[in-house]
Structure 1
Amino acid sequence: METLRELSEVIHGPIGELPAALSRLLAPGAGHRALTILAADVDGGHRRGAGESSVLDQVPYLDLVEMRRRMSPGTVRRDTIVAEGAAEEVLLALSRNGALLALAGPTCDAEGERAVLDLWNIVSLRVQRFADTAPPSWLRLARMSAGERMEALTELADEYSTTLETVLAALRSRALDDAAARTTATGIAAAGLVHLRTVSDRVRTVGEEPVTTAFERLRDDLRPLVRYREIDMQFVEPPLDGRPLPGEVAHGARAVVRGTILAMLDDPEVGRVRVQWDCDGRNLLIGMRDDGEGGLSRESIQYQLVEDRIQALRGRIALDATPRWGTHLSIVIPLDPPHASAGLSADWALGAREQEILVRVASGLRNREIAAELTISENTVKFHLANVYRKLGVSSRAEATALYFAQARQDEPAAR
């Protein structure tokens, strides 16, 4: 009973005090030096902690994200981190809704690990609830944060330029003969490209969620909504190879669908709701339809809340409500953050598809990955890429990427 009382205090207490309260709750059965929470929603992974801050604060955010990506929702595992220059064991619990709990220096057995996961599955609902009821301005900030992640890619231009300059210096050095110069330059270039690709991949994928996983979480979220009312929920799954969703888009889309269903259920005649997700490579496409009286109005408070969330994500919504024929909504949410197209000069005269391909080349994607994202063939990618090279006056991916980043940096002061 004491544990239940403390659990209730954790769930109903201020959100800012949740990490410390959770740490106290877990301490008797799962001692630890420090605790960190990596939320799944709102900003793609907000981080809060308690305990010895120097322990888990030293773990890079991207490392925590990668640990989470290696786990399945509703599981627990042990891993090792480097904190204060020494290896430290951590207990990782990933809740069913995708929030990560990390305990540094855990002192518990297998039964204690299961108890930690059970408690975290309950507490993480409070974290999600806070995210769901947050104002749309939170989503706007999340989209801005996503834009900053993309801008971080442009900062790689400095490292890229330094690598090229070092290569040229080695080739021009009079202290090295031709063979030694080529060997040195090749080694520098190879190491630099590996580093740039690794960092590029980590920045690009941070906070992303597979579209199929995001949709499955939506289905789980909707079960409580329809538990006490007989309603036929029909789900049309997104494509298995659909582009991963940024964390804030996945969260916002689920919140939009839940809010829309609440608006639809205001009509007592609704007995069936159909939810469909799709992806065209650049946008998440959401279709919703009910069999009610078609009385949903744009003036209703619930609809306006949904519309505010969509606008916060830079999306758009179309409502078709016909009396006695039901309501149909079409929602489009862009996947790329606001500044993802930075670095595209109008002087290049690139077509829409050529722009899409250049952005992805600069993000480190290969032709096969670009083809999969845009749902086109590799030969089509090669065709458009050849046109990009011609219009930019370059002859390789490296030159195109360097020019893209250079243009982005020129545009940066104006954007600010």
Structure 2
Amino acid sequence: MDIAHRLREAISPYWESTALVIFTEDCTGRPQKKAGAEAIISRVSIAELDAIRASLIAEGDGGTRRGQAAFGGGMRPVLAVTSASNALLVLSDPAPAPGSAAGADAREDPQWLLHYLWALAAERIREKVADAPPSYLIESRAASAERLRVTAELVDQHSTTLETLLAALRSPALADSAARTAATDVAAKALVGLRTLSDRTTDLVEEPVASAFQRLREDLRPLMNFSGIDVQFIEPPVNGRALPGEVAHAARAIVRGLVLAMVDQQGVRRVRTQWDCDGVNLLINVRDDGPGELSAQAPAVERLVQRVEALNGSMGVDVMPGWGADVAVVIPLDPPARPLAGAADWNLGERELEVLQLLAAGQRNRGIAAKLHISENTVKFHLRNLYRKIGASSRTEAMALAHSNGLR
């Protein structure tokens, strides 16, 4: 049932409007339900709807507001009504329908009828979500995850652009006119990129690992030019396996986020980022030469960990006071699979398997030692043994082999 179209039809004898939009956070997958002029409803944003709802609360309008508001990309007359479930109904260019003037009976008042019909619709939405079948919940979760990915991508791009603008404007090596020109060029390029982002479809699209890495270099080039930070890039193999679209997008965003977190420390002059691909996983390493103050518990780093884990990957942060931070990320290129027989053939001892599982989960030596109540030297001893048994030459390779064999 298309509730927005049906509600608009029910309201039309009492209210005329160019568009109707329902905004309800009960439906996480499709919070907006729309009907009316495509030129308006296609441009309605959650930010606009949040602002309208906030104005209802701030102005104490008793759940109703009629006036000018940003809606559908421009200022328009709107009629906004909230509900007991905090859902929002917005009509653009509202006007009482001819012959619908209020009579002696309050139930003939267009305003009362609008509230009555909207209350019924809002309650019906709440009931349907409460009784939703598993298929709806799965679809809703998938849509929410996709919206979160797109939002995070935009946030990362905005962050990089703003950091670059600040670096250009603060640069002592640039005169005022040169700084303004550089900042204008960066802003113009960012706007073009953001406007075309919505036109890109990444579902079921693969991107060559070399071109995905080149796009990362282009993203970070302005920051290198204006901040004085030497960002070094270790190229992935040209013939490496192509990356699924969501992995390529996430990998660039993760590296951008890590670089921004690292250069935010005092004393960082060099950041090195490296990509590799073993055919099963994308292997990322980012290292700085700072004071070793990068915190794995910092909100910015924790958000990156969540993004990695959403792709069934792992991220380990190794901080060395006075020497910098070393971050290793492993992102599987394929969806999770059942454990392979290979892990059983490694003949790992019980403690070695525990160490490998914690390593695969992104824990550093100190964290492994704390969880297993052993010393860091004992952890290093187990790591040397399991590296030999599984045929790994480095920590990142061991993490990749563990993931390839279903260990998380």
Measured against the shorter chain, the TM-score band is 0.3 to 0.5
Which structure has the greater CA radius of gyration?
2
TM-score for both structures, normalised by structure 1 = 0.40
TM-score for both structures, normalised by structure 2 = 0.40
Instruction: Report 1 or 2 for greater relative contact order, CA contacts < 8 Å, sequence distance ≥ 6.
Output: 1
